[in-house]
Structure 1
Amino acid sequence: MTDTPARLLTLLSLLQTPREWPGRELAERLGVSSRTIRRDVDRLRELGYPVEATLGSEGGYRLVAGAAMPPLVLDDEEAVAIAVGLRAGAGHAIDGVEEASVRALAKLEQVLPARLRHRVGALQSATVPLTRGDGASIDPRTLTVIAAAATGRERLRFAYRARDGADSRRLVEPYHLVSTGRRWYLVSYDLERGDWRTFRVDRMSEPFPTGARFAPRELPMAPESFVKRALGGREEYEVRLAFAAAPEELPSWLGPAEPDPSGGCRVGFRTSDAPEWLVARLAVAGLPFTVLAPPRLAACAAELGARLTAAGSGAGPAPGPAPGSASGPAPA
């Protein structure tokens, strides 16, 4: 790479990954000599980036937290605001917050000065988030540790509690974090079991990188396919809803809404959620709605409405569908 500004930006992007980069590896990545890497590191230091170097045959470079924020495009207030927002979003798996947000948080917290890191922690500890209650809360530090290990190709140890309550210790090669909108999952290769595994992050604790690097394996399928298989292999289906409410009143997880001539709005999206779960989630939103498609979702809404009506009137449980009867097509 002969373009010096482009090479410096690429080098800076690599150094912002929370790991130590051997000079030889950086030189191979950028297609230059080790001497050029040393000169480029000196240029970054002159620009205010705190690049730390370790000597010896296994030495390398790492971007560390300095006395002040590096001269990026963020001032202190912006850095604190972004860190708090990313922590809140990552910790509660808010819809739309995906792996890229966790990587951004890992990079930002790596270079935050101690005084700003203290402000971020104090602000978050004094804030009580009002969540929907449909996903477990996660310590953002857990996500950033996992993301750093996956990005740095570093083996990860952690304690894990399975669905049946059994506790175990795991040693894995972490590859990808996947968000479903409610929960985070880690796709990894379990070294002790010799196979690919998917772990719910809210069931993980005490994660720590071992320092041992690993050569990447070829994933047999896309990370999201691993998670779908772990969730029972449900396929996505199309949902169309009509609301007797203005678009701005709808929960953000529903996505964009189009105004309806009747005064309400309509929403369409694809999901792999179980219809029963989706209906309950819509009911909790507290807004009048009509299911336009699919029929299976409409049947679930009618059944839930009958059950709630019976519960409120004291008439006992409403009868469910007759055995063998069809309540609409299954999600396709």
Structure 2
Amino acid sequence: MLETSARLLELLSLLQIRRDWTSSDLAGRLGVSTRTVRSDIGKLRALGYPVDARPGVAGGYWLAAGTVMPPLLLDDDEAVAVAVGLGAVATWQFGVAETSLTALVKLEQVMPAQLRRRVAAIREATSVVPGTEAPLDLSALGVVASAIRGHERLRFGYTKPGGPEEKRHTEPQRLVSWGPLWYLFAWDLDRDDWRVFRVDRMVPGAPTGARFRPRTIPADDVVRHVVRRIVRAGWHYRALVLVRAPAATVAAKLVIPVDIEEVDDASCRVELGSDDPDALALWLTQLGADVEVIEGEELALAFDRLAARFHRAAGGMPTS
């Protein structure tokens, strides 16, 4: 006969793989009496598992939906499938990417080595359409997510384009995904300031074990704050434009957070920038409103080039 704790786990596993069981079926599978089965069902209920019962000859037991989420038992194949699925979800914009990562960290922490190797083999053997995959190892994301969840200081090497690797010591606060890239918003202990790091440029070190008390984030919307810092850092050309449209209308059409100053009910000033002023000029034409360049010679010249291109495109076609 199985020990009580092991028998309860076996009973729970049986209830999870089939809709309902009779007392005699369960007793036969567990090698106990139907009276013991009834006793074990009572123990599972006391632990929070909602086990329903139907009396009589055709009666049985089954797991029902409860008010809280109880622990689940997974066999080897199910555990591998869940781990691979969580990793895939973490690379897509479903609004649960970070939650998927923390769940993946918890799962892989308790996985036997042979199952972790199976998960790694599936990831390595899988190809996806270019542009849809995360350009980094999910293990790095897992380390960062685990440090955030545990309020644990994080050390890592960080490499900027064209520069040497730098050692950084941080208090990680939030992970933010934007397209295929992931960013860490953290307090940099060496620079005594908030910083944003691209996770694919990070090489996490061993866990520090040093805990910290979370600081107050200097923004109500972390995502907007992080995106603004990323965008500003990447601008090679800056410009200030007057848009002949209400500020709310312009804000709704912008895909990135930028500074918008309302001038009046029908116009606003927008500070923005780009690596490519020609692309920025073309993009601004899609606002569907008149635009005037206040500051930014590169953008003004780009509008001249764009106007000439549009004029050539029209050719000799008559216009009204």
State the TM-score, normalizing by the size of structure 1.
Answer: 0.49
AA aligned opposite 1:85:
G
Counterparts of 1:76-155 in structure 2, within 5 Å, are 76-90=76-90, 93-96=91-94, 98-132=97-131, 137-155=135-153
Unaligned runs of 5+ in 2: 1-42, 48-69, 236-247, 258-271, 276-282, 290-300, 310-320
Structure 2 distance, partners of 1:320, 1:173, is 42
Identical-residue share of aligned pairs (%): 45
Report the aligned-residue RMSD.
4.1
Task: Give the Cα separation in 1 of the matches to 2:99 and 2:128.
Answer: 22
1:19 aligned residue: none
Alpha-carbon shift at residue 178 of structure 1 (Å): 0.7
| Residues 1:326 and 1:87: Cα distance change in structure 2 (over 3 Å) | farther
After superposing on structure 2, the runs of 4+ consecutive aligned residues of structure 1 that deviate more than 6 Å are: 273-277
Q: Following the alignment from structure 1 to structure 2, what is the Cα–Cα distance between the partners of residues 232 and 271? A: 11
Question: What is the rounded CA distance, in whole Å, between the counterparts of 2:274 and 2:138 in structure 1?
Answer: 30
Corresponding residue of 2:255? 271
SS of residue matched to 1:137: coil
Q: Is the 8 A contact 1:275 1:296 kept in 2?
A: no
Check conservation: 2:182, 2:199, Cα contact below 8 A: yes
> Contact 1:173/1:214 (CA < 8 Å) preserved in 2?
yes
Helix, strand or coil for the counterpart of 2:205? strand
C-alpha distance in 2 between matches for 1:276 and 1:197: 21
Distance in 1 separating the partners of 2:180 and 2:135: 9
**TM-superposed deviation, 1:137:** 1.0
Q: Could you tell me how far 1:141 is from its partner in structure 2?
A: 0.6
> Given residue 121 of structure 1, which amino acid in structure 2 is its aligned partner?
A
| Distance of aligned partners of 1:220 and 1:78 in 2 relative to their CA distance in 1, 3 Å threshold | same
1:1-332 alignment, distance < 5 Å: 72=72, 74-90=74-90, 93-96=91-94, 98-132=97-131, 137-221=135-219, 222-232=221-231, 238=252, 271-272=255-256, 295-296=285-286, 321-322=303-304
Q: Are the aligned partners of 2:196 and 2:230 in contact in 1 as well (CA < 8 Å)?
A: no
Cα distance in structure 2, aligned partners of 1:194 and 1:156: 15
SS at match of 1:158: strand
Q: Give CA deviations for 1:110-136 in whole Å, capped at 9, x if unaligned.
A: 122223222112222222233326x76
C-alpha distance in 2 between matches for 1:149 and 1:205:
14
Q: Distance in 1 between matches of 2:186 and 2:302?
A: 41
Q: Which amino acid aligns with 2:126?
A: T
CA contact (8 A) 1:150 1:175 kept: yes
Q: How many residues align?
A: 196
CA contact (8 A) 1:155 1:172 kept: yes
1:297 to 1:104, Cα distance in 2 relative to 1, 3 A: farther
Say whether the 8 Å CA contact 2:176–2:183 is kept in structure 1.
Answer: yes
Contact 1:103 1:147 in 2 (8 A): yes
Q: Compute the displacement of 1:103 (Å).
A: 1.1
* TM-score, normalised relative to structure 2: 0.51
The amino acid that maps onto 1:186 is: L
CA deviation string 1:207-261 (max 9, x = no partner): 332111112111111321331122226999556xxxxxxxxxxxxxxxxxxxxxx
Whose Rg is larger?
A: 2
